[in-house]
Each structure stands twice: as structure tokens, then as C-alpha cells.
Structure 1
Amino acid sequence: MGDVIGQILPQAVGVAISPIPIIAAILMLLSPKARVTSVGFLLGWVLGIVIATTVFTLLSSVLPQGDDGGSKPIQGIIQLLLGAGLLLLAIGQWRKRPKDGEEPAMPKWMQAIDKITFPVALGLGFLLSAVNPKNLLMTAGAGVTIGSASLSGGDITLVIAIFTIIAASTVLIPVIGYLFAAEKLRGTLDAMRVWLTKENAVIMAVLLLVIGVQMIGKGIGSF
């Protein structure tokens, strides 16, 4: 089990360091309905990670396990495809980075974030974690690793729980912290929002490149 946790750590960190969800959570924390919308967003974010990872784990567990020599060609092909997808996303993110002096473009829905309700925040968190292409590829990679590891049901549950905690941590920590120390965190959260907005494309490009190469390496090693 420890080996599997080690293998999925890059994907968990990849989900955790997604700037857009972090910025969305910070904007909610700075809005008039902070305590309601931020909790809804957090619940949706966690739920999306759990469901996506569980689905891919179940799908991966039914794949042929390969021969006695340890070769797993189907798993390898899936990992190569996931890695290639991450590299393509990395190229796309790098091309989207703002030029010197140019303001970074953010999603239009962020402009109306002050007006959203708890159900909308819940759905938004779920979509950004479970349906967003970047996170979907990373949870798929984690699910393939978990499902193909021949773990017991209890171990699978524990590994998915650990993956979820790490992946959700960058949204979980600000939200929980804000509930206990709202005024003290306002300045820090606003400074973090500005920096993440500016560096979003570069952060994601580098992150996707590293994880994509790592996934391709796993795929090659499965043959």
C-alpha cells in the first residue's frame, strides 16, 4: 500500500496545486457570503475528487493484470495516453500565459462569484474537481495506479482517502482557517489571489509537464 501511495502523490499534488479552484475558493472567502459558499465549494470539491478517483479505480481494477513477468500492456497504454494528454494541456497552458504587461484572463463566472448560492458553489466545486480536464486526467492516473495494485477493499478506501485529503488540501486549509480566523487571513488570501491569478498559466504548464512525463514513464515501465 505504501508503494501505491508514493506513486499517486504526484497526481494528488497536481490536483491540489490547480490555481483556478484555489482562486475561486479565495474569492468566495472574500465575498459577503463567505461562510456559506466556501463550505459548499469545499464539499463539492472533495466529493468530485472522491467520485472521479473511485470510478477510475473501479474501471482499472477490471483490466487484465498481464502475464507472470509483470507486463501490463493495457495499463501501460492507458498511462501513455494520459501522459500525452497532460503534455498537450501543458503546451496549451504555456501558450496562454500573459505577455509582459498584459493582464491575465480569468473565467467570466468569477466576476459573479459574490452572487452565487450554496448549491451553485457545491456544483462548481464538483465540476472543477471531477469534470475539469486537467484534474480528470490526474484522478484517472491515480485511479489506474490504485485499481491495478491488487489491494484489498479496505486498503483501496484508505488510499483514496489519503489521495483526497492531499488533493483537496489547498482548498480545505484556507476554508477551515477562515472559519476560525477570518479577519487575520483576509490580507494573506488577497495577496495569494493576486499572485495565483498572475502566474496561473505558468504554474499549470510546469505542473502538467512534470506529471505528464512521470505518467509516460510509468506507462513505459508497464510493458
Structure 2
Amino acid sequence: MGAVIGGVLPLAVGVAISPIPIIAAILMLLSPQARVTGVGFLLGWVLGILVATTAFIALSGSYTEGTGESVAAVGIAQLTLGALLLLLAARSWRARPAAGEEAPLPSWMGAIDRFTLPRALAFGFLMSGVNPKNLLLCASAGISIGAGATDTMPTGTTAVALVVFTVLAASTVAVPVIAYLAAAERMRGPLDTLRAWLAANNALIMAVLLLVLGVEMLGKGLGQL
């Protein structure tokens, strides 16, 4: 079980330190409906991670033999995911702002002040479960968990690995939401400072992160072949 969990920890960190979702959560916490939309976004974020990862665990399981050993299809899938992560890394690197230039942010961030609970919930789900960058990371985790589960391992291994991955992946959205609920006034200043820093460094953070994870996933894929 340790090997399975250890294999998905870097991917969980990749989801966790994605700047744009953290910025979105912070903007909701600074909006007039902070408590409602912040909690809704967090719930949608967790649900999206769970659904996307579980789907790829099931898909990976359909490509394993009775012994639980991954067949070549799993290795090919990991190689494909690794290549896609590297492409996203290159895209993020090219999108980084020049020195002294303000980093552009998605236009939808201007509508966050008008979010309701259902909209925040749906948006959180889309950001974690459908957003291409996070979907690739959840897919990589799901395939790694599914490929690592064997008939000789305890029945709950897959569930434990999924829970660990989800908790860590959702932590950076959960922490500011919980901190705001506990001490709203004291958290406004630090959250706004963090938002500005993440906005300025988003492209560079994601380029480095996706490069590391892409190379790691390529290595896993080669090891399966």
C-alpha cells in the first residue's frame, strides 16, 4: 500500500499547488457571499477530484490481468499522460509574463462576486474534475492507483490511496476556506497578499510543476512496458 500511496503523492501536490483554483477560492472568500460561495467551491472541488480520479481507477482496472499486474496498455496511457503534461508545461512557460509585466488572469474571475451556492459548487467541480490540467493529474493518479492495486493487497488499499490523494489535493483550497470561517477579519489581508503573489507567479509555478510531473509519469510508463 505504501508504494501506491507514495506514487500518487507528487500528483496530489501538483493538484494542490495549482494557483488558479486557489486564487478563485480566495476571491470568493473576499466576495460579499464569502461563506456560502467559499464552502460551495470547496465541496465542488473535492467532489470533482473524487469523481475524476475514481473514473480513471476503474478504467485502469479494466486493463489489468487477473494477477493484478498492469499490462502494456497502462504503460502506454502513462506515457501519453506524461507527454501531455510536458506539453502543458511548455505552454505555461511560454505564457509567463515578461519582467515588469502584469500577469493576465481569466476573465471569469470578474464574475465571482455574483456567484451563488449552486454556481460555486458547479464551478468547483469543473475546476477540479474537468479542467484539463487537473484532469490530467487526476487521470495520472487514478491510473497509478488502479495499476498498483493487486489481488494480494488489502481490499481497502484503493480506497485509502484515493482518500489520501483527495485530501492532499484539496488541502490548499480547504485551508483558506476553513481559516476564513474561523477568523474572517484577520484572514482578509493575508489572503489578498497570497492572491496577488499567486497571480504574478502562476505561469512559472505551473511550468515547473508540470515539467517535473510529466517526466515522472513518462518514467512510470516506461517502467510498465
TM-score range, shorter chain: over 0.9
Name the TM-score, length of structure 2 as normaliser.
Answer: 0.95
CA RMSD of aligned residues (A): 1.5
Aligned pairs for 1:51-70 (under 5 A) are: 51-65=51-65
Closer, same or farther: CA 200–66 of 1 in aligned 2, 3 Å = farther
Q: Does 1:109 align with 2:111?
A: no
Instruction: Tell me which amino acid in the other structure corresponds to 2:38.
Output: S
Return the alpha-carbon distance in structure 2 between the equivalents of residues 163 and 67 of structure 1: 25
Instruction: Tell me which amino acid in the other structure corresponds to 2:4.
Output: V
Return the alpha-carbon distance in structure 2 between the equivalents of residues 63 and 36 of structure 1: 42
Instruction: Tell me which amino acid in the other structure corresponds to 1:184.
Output: R
Instruction: Tell me which amino acid in the other structure corresponds to 2:141.
Output: A
Name the TM-score, length of structure 1 as normaliser.
Answer: 0.96
Return the alpha-carbon distance in structure 2 between the equivalents of residues 176 and 124 of structure 1: 19
Q: Which residue of 1 aligns with 2:34?
A: 34
Contact 1:49 1:129 (C-alpha < 8 Å) held by counterparts: yes
Return the alpha-carbon distance in structure 1 between the equivalents of residues 98 and 66 of structure 2: 48
TM-superposed deviation, 1:66: 9.1
Can you list the C-alpha shifts for 1:161-180, whole angstroms capped at 9, x where unaligned? 11100000000011011100
Contact 1:66 1:72 (C-alpha < 8 Å) held by counterparts: no
Can you list the C-alpha shifts for 1:117-151, whole angstroms capped at 9, x where unaligned? 11110011000000011111111111111111225
Return the alpha-carbon distance in structure 2 between the equivalents of residues 112 and 199 of structure 1: 22
Q: Which residue of 1 aligns with 2:78?
A: 79
TM-superposed deviation, 1:65: 3.5
Q: Which residue of 2 aligns with 1:208?
A: 210
Aligned pairs for 1:137-216 (under 5 A) are: 137-149=136-148, 150=150, 151-216=153-218
Q: Does 1:133 align with 2:121?
A: no
* Alignment size in residue pairs: 222
Can you list the C-alpha shifts for 1:4-53, whole angstroms capped at 9, x where unaligned? 00000111000001100000000011111100000000000000000000
Task: Identify the range of structure 1 (4-13 vs 99-108) with the bigger mean alpha-carbon deviation.
Answer: 99-108
| Structure 2 gaps, min length 5 | none
Return the alpha-carbon distance in structure 1 between the equivalents of residues 216 and 11 of structure 2: 10
Return the alpha-carbon distance in structure 2 between the equivalents of residues 166 and 9 of structure 1: 8
Partner of 1:148, secondary structure, is helix
Instruction: Tell me which amino acid in the other structure corresponds to 1:53.
Output: T
Contact 1:66 1:73 (C-alpha < 8 Å) held by counterparts: no
TM-superposed deviation, 1:156: 1.2
Q: Which residue of 1 aligns with 2:48?
A: 48
Q: Which residue of 2 aligns with 1:22?
A: 22
Return the alpha-carbon distance in structure 2 between the equivalents of residues 204 and 62 of structure 1: 31
Return the alpha-carbon distance in structure 2 between the equivalents of residues 67 and 44 of structure 1: 36
| Structure 1 gaps, min length 5 | none
